[in-house]
Structure 1
Amino acid sequence: MPATSRRHLLLGGAAVSAGALLTACTGNEPQGQDRAPAGSAAPAAGDKPGTPVTIGFAGPQADHGWLNAINENAKRRAAAYSDVTLEITEGSNDTAAQIGQVQTLINKKVDVLVVLPADGKALTQVGLQAMRAGIPVVNLDRIFASPQAYRCWIGGDNYGMGLNAGRFIGERLKDKPDATVVELAGMDSLELTKQRTQGFDDALRNYPNIRKVARQAADFTVESGQAKMAQLLQAQQKFDALWNHDDDQGVGALRAIAQAGRKDFLMVGGAGARSAMDAIKADDGVLKATVLYPPTMAASAVDLARALGQKKGIGGLSELEVPASLTLYSAVVTKENVDEYLPTGFH
């Protein structure tokens, strides 16, 4: 997908468990009410409604399945709280336009801001502007250039995605002599792509019988995935596993694989699209797993913003304050656990 449309990195904690941890202190449903299924963006049982909070949300243009899921998770989570009003911008991948949108939210004097910047470095100054105006900023995924530009950061673990993909493939191939793998990466101009590749390569170092024999960078789109995968298949007549960085481009990759009639390797995807999970559950093709980069982080960002607006900490932690950063875990979804993660799959 476009260079202005994607994700970044940082610390540790699981996607589903992080949501449970956050809503333990920020939920507004009565005690004892049944918990909604994972990924539904409904708060868990927790405290009663508190001080009304207006949250300004400046997200990306929804030109990719994951990005659309970010926006939808934020909307659904906010709607589940009777004490939260969400002021949401149209969404833009143009940095100047997004800066203007955030400044409009600052001028409206929202209580808290949640910002997934089109470009973290470019939007750092507007983050600083909000913080100087006394508006706490929850920096979602793509990180600002200065920690002074946000109160809390929450996002995914790109290095962890590659690491867990490599471990899954490594365990599958550890007893196969002279095993070979190929990599269908994202955009090499993005730091996140480099992090995913680094994690993958580091994991493979633990399996001396496995060599990476080819790598092709795509653009996070169906079309690029199909074209680049076709090139890989033509160049590599035989290999044992494929690590694909993104499930959207994976749709195209799977088309190329089907057109080539190839079934002689296993494939691991990335991000957690519903189509990938459905294919994993059916278990009738090469796709055997996907490594999550959970868009539920947007729902958790709303939880964090609500807690900041109501001057609360997070249930389950001893500290009185919301953490400075929270990194979601890149779980591996396989046929054995796919039913647990299906509700979090995005379209």
Structure 2
Amino acid sequence: MKRKAGVFLLIALTVALFAGCSRRKDEAPPHEALIFGATYMTRNNPYFNVLGQGIEEVVEANGDILLTRDPLQDQKKQNEQIEELIDEGIRMLFLNPVDWEEVRPALLACKKAGVAVINVDTVVKDRDLVISVIETDNYQAGQLCALDMMKRRKSADIVILDNPIQMSITYRAQGFTDAIAGNPNYRVVYRHAAAGEIEVSSKVMEEFLSQNKGFDVVLGGNDPTALGALAALQQARKEDGVLIYGIDGSPDFKAILDMGYVTGTSAQSPKAIGRVAAETAYRYLNGEPVDPYISLSSTFITKDNLAEYEIDGWQ
């Protein structure tokens, strides 16, 4: 019995020794996984899937958990989902709001529960209720489209398809209209909300085309909006001579750009936005100071410089 006990002791000591040696001296001990929440206005747009990947990669690399929700462009539903995430014990929320104003009840709920909020891609109205905003310079993105248009056209009648409840698109449209302000050669003849989605944009454009009004430029608030306008124009066989601008730099848009059916897009990197958002969250949780607003620059892409960018992916 003594010999068996000695063998068992030797085995136990060996296992303990190897267990201790398997962890480097400078390696942090395992920690209890933190739970993060993320909600995007819709997952119908692949842009938000890529943005989510940027967040998820950083969170998982830290051994933590990311719970995601899709409100399908419904702010009431998004508010309810955020309440659910709070109940599930999230420490931090990555928020891309459906409506920049109507998200306020969810922001107040987060504040009450002690859940910090990182605002991504499009800003909320109540900036004091979030610790940081990370987005592309949307105003610049709209300006770049206008500047390209003015190089191609000495005058133009313009259609703008925007989305007033989404501030990223509102700032893009503002950048565009400010760039042409005071120049009577450029006129906005129609402006309408298109929800930032292909199907809605196509229907809006179809309705406008039925009015038989002249125009020669379309600014889509994002790439899906521009592609929806293109679909309606092609259905009506009225796409010839129309300049079509999007904003995002999505793989789908770049593929259509390569075929010559659209004019240009102000590209952004959703993965970079997601990655910066997650890194900012960890700095905050570690007690480090964070910037209340982080803006990433936009790059203008046309068929002429498309070869510099990967068609099958986001830049």
2:186 maps to 211
Instruction: Choose the corresponding residue for 1:291, options 258, 261, 266.
Output: 266
Summarize deviations over 1:136-168 as a string: whole Å, max 9, x none. 321223434433322111123443332221111
Contact 1:58 1:101 in 2 (8 A): no
Partner-residue secondary structure (3-state), 2:263: strand
Contact 1:182 1:241 in 2 (8 A): yes
User: Per-residue deviation at 1:279?
Assistant: 1.9
Instruction: Choose the corresponding residue for 2:104, options 96, 104, 124.
Output: 124
User: Per-residue deviation at 1:326?
Assistant: 0.9
User: Per-residue deviation at 1:59?
Assistant: 0.8
2:67 maps to 88
Partner-residue secondary structure (3-state), 1:89: strand
Matched residues, percent identical?
20
Contact 1:84 1:306 in 2 (8 A): no
Quote the Cα distance in structure 2 between the aligned partners of 1:130 and 1:95. 16
Summarize deviations over 1:209-253 as a string: whole Å, max 9, x none. 732252242523323333333455565676543322222132232
Quote the Cα distance in structure 1 between the aligned partners of 2:119 and 2:126. 11
Alignment of 1:8-157 (within 5 A): 54-60=34-40, 61-79=42-60, 81=61, 83-92=62-71, 93-131=73-111, 134-157=114-137
2:314 maps to 345
Q: 1:164 aligned to 2:144?
A: yes
Partner-residue secondary structure (3-state), 2:270: coil
Quote the Cα distance in structure 1 between the aligned partners of 2:92 and 2:64. 11
Contact 2:132 2:290 in 1 (8 A): yes
Instruction: Choose the corresponding residue for 1:271, options 233, 243, 248.
Output: 248
Structure 1, unaligned runs of 5 or more: 1-47, 313-320
Quote the Cα distance in structure 2 between the aligned partners of 1:340 and 1:50. 42
Instruction: Choose the corresponding residue for 2:201, options 205, 225, 232.
Output: 225
Cα 1:194/1:123, change in 2 over 3 Å: closer
Q: Please say which of residues 225-234 and 179-188 is displaced more in the overlay.
A: 225-234
Quote the Cα distance in structure 1 between the aligned partners of 2:150 and 2:208. 20
Contact 1:55 1:114 in 2 (8 A): no
Contact 2:160 2:188 in 1 (8 A): no
1:333 maps to 301
Report the structure number with the largest CA radius of gyration. 2
Cα 1:188/1:128, change in 2 over 3 Å: closer
Structure 2, unaligned runs of 5 or more: 1-26
Q: Which amino acid aligns with 2:68?
A: T
Q: Which amino acid aligns with 1:247?
A: D
User: Per-residue deviation at 1:257?
Assistant: 2.8
- Which consecutive aligned stretches of 4+ in structure 1 deviate over 6 angstroms post-superposition? 48-51
User: Per-residue deviation at 1:99?
Assistant: 3.7
Contact 1:50 1:310 in 2 (8 A): no
Q: Please say which of residues 64-73 and 248-257 is displaced more in the overlay.
A: 64-73
Normalising by structure 2, report the TM-score.
0.73
Cα 1:136/1:234, change in 2 over 3 Å: closer
Q: Which amino acid aligns with 1:332?
A: F
Quote the Cα distance in structure 1 between the aligned partners of 2:52 and 2:232. 30
User: Per-residue deviation at 1:104?
Assistant: 4.5
Contact 1:165 1:291 in 2 (8 A): yes
Quote the Cα distance in structure 1 between the aligned partners of 2:294 and 2:198. 31
User: Per-residue deviation at 1:325?
Assistant: 0.9
Q: CA RMSD in A?
A: 3.4
Summarize deviations over 1:7-50 as a string: whole Å, max 9, x none. xxxxxxxxxxxxxxxxxxxxxxxxxxxxxxxxxxxxxxxxx989
Summarize deviations over 1:316-344 as a string: whole Å, max 9, x none. xxxxx221111232321223443435465
Cα 1:73/1:187, change in 2 over 3 Å: same
Cα 1:132/1:231, change in 2 over 3 Å: closer
Contact 2:59 2:66 in 1 (8 A): no
Cα 1:94/1:236, change in 2 over 3 Å: closer
User: Per-residue deviation at 1:277?
Assistant: 0.8
